[in-house]
Amino acid sequence: MAITPLMPVYPRCEVEPVRGEGAWLFDAQGRKWLDFASGIAVNLLGHGHPHLTAAIQKQAATLMHTSNLYGSPQQRALAERLVSLTFADTVFFTNSGAEALECAIKTCKAYHYATGNPHKYRILTFSNAFHGRTLATIAATDQEKLRKGFEPLPDWFTVLPFDDLAAAEAAIDDSIGGFLVEPVQGEGGIRPASREFLHGLRALADKHGLLLMFDEVQCGVARTGTLFAHEQYGVTPDVMAIAKGIGGGFPVGACLATERAAAGMVIGTHGSTYGGNPLAMAACQAVLDVVAEPSFLEQVKQTGARLRAAIEQMMPNHDHLFDHVRGMGLMLGIKLKADSRAFVNHARSHGILLVAAGDNVVRVLPPLNIDESHIRECVERLSAAAAAFELPKAA
């Protein structure tokens, strides 16, 4: 048999962690890596955080799962907390970010159906976006690596240049129901949207009766130094998908919406077997206990600024490789002058885990509770990796 027991859809690397402690991962042989990938922006509190671990252990021993056929005091409490912390009036819990995006897309379609405009089924999205790997969410991007082999896909999306407000305005017609956008693109290369772009989309949505949907699966939940990235722009959406960090490592996501936007999401229109089970809700509550505190958010901003400054100070020593740093808070991207995936692979041999992104960018996504020692380790390991990295020879 040629195929592996694990379906071979990931190019898995040589790192096989069996234990985590704070910002460090260890394998069975005791080798360790500084984890500045955080499970791709998931492990907000690092590995083995005592408050998160205790909350999950306590809930696992109490009640792990029932069904959404029954009432859920755990879901109700977390939904009320998220509503109190955000623009939203209502929340649907999912198992992942892609499911949260699916719910957002359905919310938009259902809104226009419920308000007598079923023809407004199309959604405007933006180039190099990553919204997940379900059929609907890969249809929402123009990335060939995600779409190849799966077309034809649902024809509900028009993909426009990112941060191009004029293109967005020109694409609006009577079939358009809303915008879907990441305030800070993650997989697309750590590209923050401009203030003018997000404010412009809000204005266009209001003018044309469209819904503005934010994908904060990667940039949300304190990653950028505010609880959600859009807060720094002063723009609020009608619908927002979140996941990754909200569970701190437990698989959970959520679709948040205003009462108006959720007008079509009535009984029978949506559901989930596992979404919002008590174990997931306990994990989310524990994460929010830590990251929703104003002092913690301020610390993320300050730590992000220090990490960015330390990387920028190191970069001139390797100006053959590094170009510039961009991003917000502890969602940073280093633009390279060489292939970012090759450098990420190489950096593992110097004991640091990073994530490649589009546009030749290396994502730096540490746990949010790192300290100065982790910043020093990061820069030392990055610098050592850069010094030993061999640029491909010109053809």
The answer to whether 215 is annotated as binding is yes
The answer to whether 151 is annotated as binding is no
What is the Cβ-side half-sphere exposure of residue 145, based on CA atoms within 13 angstroms?
10
Parallel, antiparallel or unpaired: strands 24-27 and 32-35: antiparallel
The answer to whether 12 is annotated as binding is no
Instruction: Look at residue 332 and give its three-state secondary structure.
Output: strand
Amino acid, res. 347: A
The answer to whether 31 is annotated as binding is no
Non-local (6+) Cβ contacts of 148 within 8 A are: none
The answer to whether 285 is annotated as binding is no
The answer to whether 304 is annotated as binding is no
Across the beta sheet with 32-35, what order do the strands follow?
A: 17-21, 24-27, 32-35, 352-353
The answer to whether 98 is annotated as binding is yes
Q: Residue 351, exposed/middle/buried by CB under 10 A (0-12, 13-18, 19+)?
A: middle
Across the beta sheet with 122-126, what order do the strands follow?
A: 90-94, 253-257, 239-242, 211-215, 176-181, 122-126, 157-160
The answer to whether 272 is annotated as binding is yes
The answer to whether 293 is annotated as binding is no
The answer to whether 218 is annotated as binding is yes
Instruction: Look at residue 240 and give its three-state secondary structure.
Output: strand
d(CA 256, CA 259): 10
If residue 326 lies in a helix (H) or strand (E), which one and from where to where?
strand 322-328
Non-local (6+) Cβ contacts of 233 within 8 A are: 183, 193, 195, 198, 199
Query: What are the residues facing 241 on neighbouring strands?
Result: 215, 255
Write out the two tokens for 53: 């671990």
Write out the two tokens for 339: 């292939």
Q: Residues annotated as binding site for pyridoxal 5'-phosphate?
A: 97-98, 130, 215-218, 273
Q: Residues annotated as binding site for N(2)-acetyl-L-ornithine?
A: 133, 272
Q: Residues annotated as binding site?
A: 97-98, 130, 133, 215-218, 272-273
